């Protein structure tokens, strides 16, 4: 029972940063923008959150600072792609490389220092229930924020006028512009929201998952978050399921190594990324489903004619 509880807790911890980053990117792509710089924004959030928490002693201030830095970093992407109309794919890749390099420089002095861990929630009585107590009532606050964020995005996209407007921009930016909708303004806000989510996701890694800073500690999670959006067919609840599926794969390979299976550790460590490739290949085979859910204007630049 104790082993099962530990496994479920670690799966939730591994899935939370993937879920937050993927939900943010889903909103960005629903607006018609493809931002491949999630990894760079995540690692900037990780180093910022760790540094601010270490200097102030408050993990919450670290999380807030990471969100702000992620949003500001995404503004660079927005300025280049939405205002200067640069190629979104190339700009996103450049943003990732910039984030990885810049974070390594900023975090050089923090390597090896003990971090400030965000405390988990404890509800007397409820948190002590066997198996489900810690899993439901004893998680860290960001876990609950990630679930609430997913529900809020579902409500926003499919139950509000603003969400309908954002989806219309992603599906046909020309028609949206003709109706007087500010396509560029909406896309800027979506990009900043995605950047803030990526920053929070990165800070989760350095303040909850492993409260320390190491260079390139995101380890490809930004790319997995991007794949999750496609895996979920741009549906938030499917992103939730996909994040926990990939979290289970990640934790499964760690437990397999701990149990001493006669499989090379390098192969086990690659399992989350192998699973990502397999999922993308399977999805690409169903072109009808992919085309039906893909925002029609995704990745296409928009230049207002008036």
The pLDDT assigned to 142 comes to 96
CATH number at residue 17: 1.10.3470
Q: C-alpha 277: how far from its chain's center?
A: 18
Does residue 62 fall inside a structural domain?
yes
User: Is 16 among the domain residues?
Assistant: yes
Outline where DSSP puts E strands in the chain: none
In a domain, 68, yes or no: yes
- Total number of domains constituting the chain: 1
Q: Is residue 298 part of a domain?
A: no
CA distance 261 to 193: 42
Report the pLDDT value the prediction gives residue 131, as an integer from 0 to 100: 76
Tokens of 183: 């396509």
Residue 256: the pLDDT is: 67
Distances in whole angstroms, Cα of residue 10 to Cα of each of 14, 78, 161, 237: 6, 35, 38, 21
Host domain of residue 246: 2-293
Within a domain: 301: no
What are the per-10-residue average pLDDT scores of the chain (306 residues)? 78 94 97 96 97 95 97 96 95 96 93 90 84 86 96 97 96 93 96 98 95 92 92 90 88 68 67 75 70 85 80
Residue 304 belongs to some domain of the structure: no
How many angstroms separate the CA atoms of 273 and 277, rounded? 6
What's residue 289's pLDDT? 63
Angstrom distance (rounded) from CA 192 to CA 41: 11
Confidence at residue 229, expressed as pLDDT on a 0 to 100 scale: 93
- Encoded tokens for 270: 């690659």
Whole-Å CA distances, 75 to 37, 92, 96, 119, 231:
11, 12, 14, 31, 26
In a domain, 306, yes or no: no
300 within domain boundaries:
no
- Helices in 107-140 by DSSP H: which ranges? 132-137
Let me know: does 300 contact 32? Beta carbons within 8 Å: yes
Q: What is the pLDDT of residue 206?
A: 95
């Amino acid at each position: 029972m104790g082993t099962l509880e530990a496994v479920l807790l670690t799966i939730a911890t591994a899935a939370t940063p993937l879920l937050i980053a993927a939900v943010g990117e889903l909103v960005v792509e629903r607006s018609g923008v493809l931002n491949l710089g999630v990894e760079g924004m995540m690692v900037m959030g990780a180093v910022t959150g760790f540094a601010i928490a270490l200097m102030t002693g408050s993990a919450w201030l670290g999380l807030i600072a990471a969100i702000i830095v992620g949003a500001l970093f995404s503004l660079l992407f927005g300025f280049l792609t939405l205002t200067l109309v640069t190629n979104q794919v190339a700009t996103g890749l450049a943003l990732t490389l910039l984030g990885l390099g810049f974070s390594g420089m900023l975090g050089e002095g923090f390597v090896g220092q003990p971090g400030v861990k965000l405390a988990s929630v404890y509800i007397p009585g409820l948190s002590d229930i066997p198996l489900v107590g810690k899993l439901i009532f004893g998680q860290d606050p960001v876990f609950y924020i990630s679930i609430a964020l997913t529900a809020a995005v579902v409500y926003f996209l499919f139950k509000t006028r603003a969400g309908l407007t954002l989806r219309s921009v992603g599906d046909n930016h020309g028609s949206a512009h003709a109706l007087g909708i500010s396509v560029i303004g909406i896309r800027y806000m979506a990009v900043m929201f995605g950047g803030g989510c990526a920053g929070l996701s990165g800070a989760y890694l350095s303040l909850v998952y492993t409260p320390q800073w190491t260079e390139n500690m995101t380890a490809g999670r930004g790319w997995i978050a991007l794949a999750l959006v496609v895996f979920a067919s741009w549906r938030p609840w499917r992103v939730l399921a996909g994040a926990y599926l990939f979290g289970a794969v990640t934790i499964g390979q760690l437990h397999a190594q701990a149990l001493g299976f006669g499989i090379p550790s390098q192969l086990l460590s690659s399992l989350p990324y192998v699973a990502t490739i397999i999922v993308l290949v399977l999805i690409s085979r169903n072109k009808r489903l992919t085309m039906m859910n893909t925002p029609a204007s995704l990745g296409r630049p928009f230049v207002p004619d008036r």
